[in-house]
A and B are shown apart, each in its own frame.
With several copies, the nearest count.
Chain A
Amino acid sequence: MAYSEKVMDHFRNPRNVGEMKDPDGVGKVGNPVCGDIMELYIKVKDDTIVDAKFQTLGCGAAIATSSMVTEMVKGQKLEDALKISNSMVAEALGGLPSQKMHCSVLAEEALQSAISDYRNKKGIK
């Protein structure tokens, strides 16, 4: 198993890492038993994600996919952000070892969950 240079770059220098003050939506996925926990925060203005941050406990791939997904969603319309799939995240990272693909799934789920949270809060269905 080896990570791509891009994965390692996002692991070493994760973009948008840290807590967000007053997020408009929060997605929490994973659980400590599996060893991966992701929290994704978004700020939304006019149906567009204007900022995204994350906090992640997990392996290199978990941290890198978190970092990558926050980069990918910033500036996206919510409806477009919802179209971001786990394989798009993995691809953006130059691929992931097969046994690490579940990390990209977590990233997708965290994003979906954050958007749901935002919509729930706004009362949007």
Chain B
Amino acid sequence: MGRIYLDNNATTPVRPEVAEALAGMLKGCYGNPSTLYCIGQEAHVEMEHARDVMAGILGCNREEVIFTSGGTESDNIAVLGVARANRKKGNHIITTKIEHHAVLNPCKALEKEGFSVTYLPVDKYGMVDPADVERSITSGTVLISIMHANNEVGTIQPIAEIGKMARAHKITFHTDAVQSFGKLSVNVNELGVDLLSASSHKIYGPKGVGLLYVRKGTKILPIMFGGHQERSLRPGTENVPGVVGFGKAAELMAAEGPAEEARLLKLRERLWEGIKANVPHVKLNGHPTMRLAGTLNVIFEYVEGESIILSLDEHGICAASGSACTSDALEPSHVLAAMGVPPEKSHGALRMSFGRENTEQDVDKVLEALPKVVEKLRSFSPIYKDFLKQQQTA
């Protein structure tokens, strides 16, 4: 059935070339890369090829690329690992209010370990002010962690500017690039970062694999302990097929370059223009220009996000309300809250995120369904009724 998948910021379908590379690894190259015999060495070679691909994209050395089990683990190693390794130097961390929980929650855990954390505000577009970062730096600051692009609203942060600042103050700087890796340029020297997280399943690679770039010389401790794999920073038998799939996915993203981003941008704008024209009382979340090409986050006033999602699902359309990992939770989005969106509005937020399988036809189909869905839900809505009455009396 013709499903329209508009939740590519949550996860992406594995692309056929990647699935093929993966299947090949499952069949032939099953050795343990730490072993001596040829089948292990073959696995090793395949894995190191993937590492080279990543090093090329990041503009770093192969030894600086650590493969992990995903974005969450990369973020945790970065945040917990750098903080704990530098405890003697200081106990202050700077991050933002709009980070993914994979950064926020390790920060909260560190508060229990005696660290103090500054959660920087953002403006109404979800943008961090580098001047705020500079003002927050103390002599005890050991880590700055600021995401490259936000997963809910897509706003792209001024990482390079903050990177210069971090370098000037000799403070370790991490960026969560889970949403930007493979889409924006993530050259670690241009960004001026010491650590960078990425995740395979956001770029049409397999789930369960990610990477952490760790600049040579960065003081960092592991969060788990075991064998010598991944320079002991990430022990455990390597997920070789996963890594190879991730490598293939990254290679393909790099090859496509900005053309695909331009295509997504066109789709996104077509959808947004259509929504504005056909649905009253809508509001765009996120920066108008400094934003991921594929991300469209819209508030539909007087309705609630989940009910839109469920209704769209009946039209074969998959979208999200908050960030996927919290859609089991009930709190309104912490990102929208930080942007100053009041909770009664943020409940009506819908995130539509585009990917390589989406077409103009998809957009047009969404534009057919969405206005009807919103209209129907508003017809149930007591506050919409109140609003209409107010209008009549006014």
Contacts and interface: CB of A to CB of B under 8 A. Distances in A.
Contacts of A8: 310
Interface stretch (A54-62, A76-84, A113-121): A54-62
Interface in B306-361: 306-307, 310, 314, 327-330, 332, 342-344, 347
Contacts of A54: 380
B113 to A, nearest CB: 29
B381 A55 contact: yes
Contacts of B382: 28, 37-39, 55-57
A37 B383 contact: yes
Given A2-B41, A57-B302, A99-B328, A32 B383 contact: yes
A1 interface: yes
Contacts of B194: none
Contacts of A35: 304, 330, 332, 343-344, 347
Interface stretch (A12-20, A43-51, A85-93): A12-20
Given A33-B344, A35-B343, A57 B328 contact: no
A9 B122 CA distance: 41
Nearest to A37: B382
Interface residues of B, number: 28
A84 B7 CA distance: 39
A60 B380 contact: no
Contacts of A38: 382
A24 B261 CA distance: 58
A57 B303 contact: yes
Nearest to A7: B310
A7 to B, nearest CB: 10
Given A8-B310, A59-B306, A32 B344 contact: yes
Contacts of B330: 35, 99
B347 A17 contact: no
A57 B308 CA distance: 11
Contacts of B310: 3, 8, 11, 60
A54 B385 CA distance: 12
Interface of A is mostly: mixed
Contact of B328 (A1, A28, A37, A60): A1
A63 interface: yes
Contact of A32 (B45, B347, B380): B347
B380 A55 contact: yes
Interface string B29-62: 0000010100001001100000000000000000
A54 B342 CA distance: 26
Nearest to B381: A57
A36 interface: yes
B304 A14 contact: no
A59 B304 contact: yes
Nearest to B314: A12
B384 interface: yes
B307 A33 contact: no
Listed residue (A33, A59, A63) with the most chain B CB atoms within 10 angstroms of its CB: A59
Nearest to A3: B310
Nearest to A61: B306
Contact of A56 (B332, B347, B381): B381
B392 to A, nearest CB: 14
Interface of A: 1-3, 8, 11-12, 14, 17-19, 28, 31-39, 54-60, 62-63, 99
Interface of B: 34, 36, 41, 44-45, 302-304, 306-307, 310, 314, 327-330, 332, 342-344, 347, 379-385
16 contacts: A1-B36, A3-B310, A31-B344, A32-B343, A34-B343, A35-B347, A37-B383, A38-B382, A54-B380, A55-B381, A56-B380, A56-B382, A57-B302, A57-B303, A59-B304, A62-B307
